[in-house]
Structure 1
Amino acid sequence: MARTKGQHVEKKKSKTAQVTKAKSVKGGKAAKASSKQSMTTAVGRPVTDDQTSVTAKTTENSGYVMLQDTYLVEKLAHFTRERIPERIVHAKGAGAYGYFEVTDDISKYTCAKFLNKVGKKTPLFIRFSTVGGEKGSADSARDPRGFAIKIYTEDGNYDIVGNNTPIFFIRDAIKFPDFIHTQKRDPQTGLKDATMFWDFLSLTPESVHQVTFLFSDRGTPANFRHMNGFASNTWMFYNDKGETWWFKWHFKTDQGIKNLTAQEAEELAGSDPDHSTRDLFESIEKGDYPSWTAYVQIMTPQQAKKYRFDPFDVTKVLFHKDFPLIRVGRIVLNKNPENFFAEVEQAAFAPSNIVPGIYPSPDKMLQARLFAYNDAHRYRLGVNSEMIPVNQPKGTTVYSNERDGHMNTGRNFGPTANYYPNSVNPYGEADGIPEAPVITFRDAAIARHRVPETDDDDFFQAGEIWRRVLSDYDRDHLISNLAGHMGGALKRIQYRQTALFYKADKEYGTRLSEALDLDVKKVKSLAAMSDQERAAATANGTKW
């Protein structure tokens, strides 16, 4: 908890008042204007609303956050770069390896493979932490406890990033940098400050639910083993039929809940500030493996529309009487890290790391977290943080077109092409993986919308340049320039590209075919195909 600065606060206020008064007397008529300085962005644009993200508003809830909110991005991007190399939040922590075991069948809700069979075990790593304190702070602080899980599934890493509380202080991430500043240290004194702490909270009424939780004894868990975990945000399950449900994760400790009184917590801060870190390590070392039972709450889209609370508001819970817990499995921790820095400190969790069968909700905090967590890791650990062993996927082979960058410790994907689409290496888009269904959100449909193929859109204007703009002299040079450059490409790729010019104008494609010594009939047949058919006809190994 923060300690007050006592009289210093009042003195500072008094000094400020004197300065303001002096300016008012000196300023004459200008003194009647507001003395409040307008907040601005980093480049000086006035900020008219520092408390609300730009969203696609609906009548049901506040809507999806828009990436066009450059002020939100600026605040979060700057915030994740404020410290180096310590985590901005969750700096003090401990972790261990174990597994997730499915005990109950929920396959009707989700096509997530790690949940598709009772008895299935998937390896994982968990990091527990305190939130507000620095790396050397006491484990017994009155503070939420981070509860971050990295599950190494066959479809890539699935990260569940939450706390030991089912709710949070704020519902809009644009407030998050300000909130965390109040949990840190006064910029003048370098001390924790009760005024900062309570000034913000008292001006943010949505925090009262979490504050009530925090100042109960559950605000100071006895250790990491004797506390529950929650993903807090609402998420979506979808199955291979395209059916969807909203859900929340709950992880109930099998050791039972144990908390500290304020006096016990204060005494431990002095006698053993690392007691939770020690307790976790020593328990696993002696074979007393901690475990948690995993549950979900399930809500249909229809129920979400009618529920008395916004189900996408992270300051609220879904009452258990309305949505009972459904058991899914259990988590067991049975292996300690071999190197604390390499595995615990360099572990990087992000709620954006999801697998097929699970999808985000329009929770405003979650939408911003999808950006901010990985951005923090890029800053703290580098753009190749996923190459660090604790962060590497274990159940699948990784291939992407992301290359190079600081601390690239792998083969950098060797000689394979680093662009897509391509027809020169075997990697392509995955087949047979259920896509997240289209989410209808009032007038908006949230999905990957591919632009339909229309000849007029892509080819008509290019043909008009050939037909109406270029002179005979210009056309000759265009064909010569294209043939000179395309002549160095594979023949099948020459055919594919020339077909596109043929679609723009027959004469255009014919003249280029002749310049490249291509079969015009083949070019014409390729031009008549769809994009997919043309790509397949000229793929690696075809006879063009």
Structure 2
Amino acid sequence: MNEKVTLTTASGAPVSDNQNSRSAGVRGPLLLDDFHLVEKLAHFNREVIPERRVHAKGSGAHGTLTITADITQYTSARLFEAVGRQTPLFLRFSTVGGERGSADTERDPRGFAVKFYTEEGNWDIVGNNTPVFFIRDPLKFPDFIHTQKRDPWTNLKSPQMMWDFWSHSPEALHQITVLFSDRGIPDGYRFMHGFGSHTFSLINAEGIRSWVKFHFKSLQGIKNLVPAEAARLAGVDPDYAQRDLFSAIDRGDYPRWRMCIQVMSEAQASARAENPFDVTKTWSQKEFPLIEVGVLELNRNPKNYFAEVEQAAFAPSNLVPGIGLSPDRMLQGRVFAYADAHRYRIGTNHQQLPVNAPRCPYQNYQRDGAMRFDGNGGSAPNYEPNSYSDSPKQAAQYAEPASALSGSAARYDHRADGDYFSHAGALFRLMSIEQQALLIDNIVGAMKPVTREVQLRQLAYFIKADLAYGTGIAAGLGIDPCEVA
């Protein structure tokens, strides 16, 4: 027989009674010196860390990326250096606007965040299931997210807030078209694509930079929920996507995605009339075809949801040699915002938590802070430069090639190009008649509670994208298109 394991306090002291508090007599009040009671209650009060401001409701799993094609002509990152090479990873899916207790089947973009544990450090892709986003400039991100959360007056979700903001933000039209299409409510997390969304960079061994977009194509195929079924599931099984993902992995039905890239040279980007760093637009796959990289597989469920999913912290600032950023304004803003959110939500030493810690050796001069539990650098110096040969030193060979910058510092109008509609219109025309009808019906239902002023302003954008798109929505709202300015 196994030896009995003794219950202890967090400090290791044996617990003699875990059923009864200490009291002054059988019926007397409890005593403050019952340190076991105080510790249990105090820890319980602190068990919930602040939820994420966005992407609060999430599911995650461990897996691997197996390289299937040689892309070393574009990048020197070691995880890509050999076909067949495997890199462990953790992937977190999420809805964007809902709280932790919200339903998995809401109409909402889905987060698709991947942490690759490479031998050169952690590399994070913090993406979505859509290739574009609602806004171009991070200065508008807090405003946008406020409209997706609760009205400060009623504490209710507000269609008026959402559409009022969108009607003043024409660049959102492409993402709106995606969100209200049949792909706006995926059937769980396994049957949807993932995207890095932003433009990133790859740098090869010769120091040549290429611009790149990352795609993850579901090998399970695409499945979506119709609104009626999504509403039913929200009532009977609000954790539908979490249950589906966990159950599939548990029974050995491991979900897989084909990882691909689109590549654009710096010369092509410079000569391009359309801004390749605009996250509200996509790159033509005819002009920049998908190049296969590898296969991502999820094959292990977390042992503890809080430790591995809730405490997982992704940030686009987590990069490795051979992979870099771009002038994408939203990406530049996220480089600060994501890491800062984790410092607030989890703590300054969040990167030491097992799910976030690199799997390779790491050494730096960061010290102290709450919850430091890795030895805190021991007796080694906490400053640099220093005279100690065994202390970590900078390595010039990992420097990125210089980026050419130009222009005067100013607040440039990110809407100056005026093309907010061509990509949304092209997407609408790619849809089948049935998909177009569903898209129009979904938008009509969402816009009915909104004021006439906002409806008219937003209708002008739909009409500019495609006449049939706009007039279909106008008819559903009972508005004569001639009224639209």
Tell me the TM-score normalised to structure 2 length. 0.73
**Does 2:278 match 1:306?**
no
* Alpha-carbon shift at residue 425 of structure 1 (Å): 5.0
**Does 2:394 match 1:427?**
no
In 1, the alpha carbon distance for the partners of 2:71 and 2:259 equals 12
Q: Aligned residues, how many?
A: 361
In 2, the alpha carbon distance for the partners of 1:285 and 1:156 equals 29
* Alpha-carbon shift at residue 309 of structure 1 (Å): 1.8
* Alpha-carbon shift at residue 246 of structure 1 (Å): 0.3
Aligned to 2:112: 147
State the superposition RMSD in angstroms: 1.3
* Alpha-carbon shift at residue 271 of structure 1 (Å): 1.1
Aligned to 1:241: 206
* Alpha-carbon shift at residue 264 of structure 1 (Å): 1.1
In 1, the alpha carbon distance for the partners of 2:272 and 2:350 equals 40
Equivalent residue letter for 1:410: D
Task: Give yes or no for contact 2:277–2:326 (8 Å, CA) kept in 1.
Answer: yes
* Alpha-carbon shift at residue 132 of structure 1 (Å): 0.2
**Does 2:340 match 1:375?**
yes
> RCO (CA 8 Å, sep 6+): is it higher in 1 or 2?
2
Equivalent residue letter for 1:420: E
In 2, the alpha carbon distance for the partners of 1:353 and 1:284 equals 27
In 2, the alpha carbon distance for the partners of 1:210 and 1:359 equals 25
Aligned to 2:403: 439
Aligned to 1:161: 126
Unaligned ranges ≥5, structure 2: 1-47, 409-485
Give percent identity, aligned residues only.
57
Structure 1's 349 and 147: CA in aligned 2 closer, same or farther, altered over 3 A? same
1:321-369 Cα deviation digits (max 9, x unpaired)? 1100000001000000000001000000000000000111000000010
Task: Give yes or no for contact 1:173–1:368 (8 Å, CA) kept in 2.
Answer: yes
* Residues 107-506 of structure 1: pairs in structure 2 closer than 5 A: 107-394=72-359, 396-424=360-388, 426-431=390-395, 433-442=397-406
Give the structure with higher Rg (CA). Answer: 1
Paired residue secondary structure (2:166): helix
Paired residue secondary structure (2:111): strand
* Alpha-carbon shift at residue 440 of structure 1 (Å): 1.3
* Alpha-carbon shift at residue 195 of structure 1 (Å): 0.4
Equivalent residue letter for 2:231: E
Equivalent residue letter for 2:375: R
In 1, the alpha carbon distance for the partners of 2:133 and 2:233 equals 26
Task: Give yes or no for contact 1:417–1:425 (8 Å, CA) kept in 2.
Answer: no
Task: Give yes or no for contact 2:363–2:392 (8 Å, CA) kept in 1.
Answer: no
Equivalent residue letter for 2:234: A
Equivalent residue letter for 1:419: Y
Equivalent residue letter for 1:233: H
- From the two aligned structures, give the one with the greater helix fraction: 1
Dislocated runs of 4+, deviation >2 Å: 427-434, 441-444
Task: Give yes or no for contact 1:240–1:434 (8 Å, CA) kept in 2.
Answer: no
Task: Give yes or no for contact 1:235–1:248 (8 Å, CA) kept in 2.
Answer: yes
1:501-544 Cα deviation digits (max 9, x unpaired)? xxxxxxxxxxxxxxxxxxxxxxxxxxxxxxxxxxxxxxxxxxxx
* Alpha-carbon shift at residue 130 of structure 1 (Å): 0.2
Equivalent residue letter for 1:171: R
In 2, the alpha carbon distance for the partners of 1:127 and 1:155 equals 21
Structure 1's 203 and 166: CA in aligned 2 closer, same or farther, altered over 3 A? same
In 1, the alpha carbon distance for the partners of 2:269 and 2:388 equals 47
In 1, the alpha carbon distance for the partners of 2:405 and 2:241 equals 44
Unaligned ranges ≥5, structure 1: 1-82, 445-544
Paired residue secondary structure (1:343): helix
In 2, the alpha carbon distance for the partners of 1:116 and 1:309 equals 33
* Alpha-carbon shift at residue 429 of structure 1 (Å): 2.5
Tell me the TM-score normalised to structure 1 length. 0.65
In 2, the alpha carbon distance for the partners of 1:353 and 1:220 equals 30
Task: Give yes or no for contact 1:146–1:162 (8 Å, CA) kept in 2.
Answer: yes
* Alpha-carbon shift at residue 431 of structure 1 (Å): 3.9
Aligned to 2:58: 93
* Alpha-carbon shift at residue 434 of structure 1 (Å): 3.3
In 1, the alpha carbon distance for the partners of 2:74 and 2:143 equals 38
1:228-273 Cα deviation digits (max 9, x unpaired)? 0000000111112111100000000000000011111111101111
* Residues 60-71 of structure 1: pairs in structure 2 closer than 5 A: none
In 2, the alpha carbon distance for the partners of 1:430 and 1:236 equals 22
**Does 2:67 match 1:102?**
yes
In 2, the alpha carbon distance for the partners of 1:174 and 1:251 equals 28
Paired residue secondary structure (1:441): coil
Aligned to 2:442: none
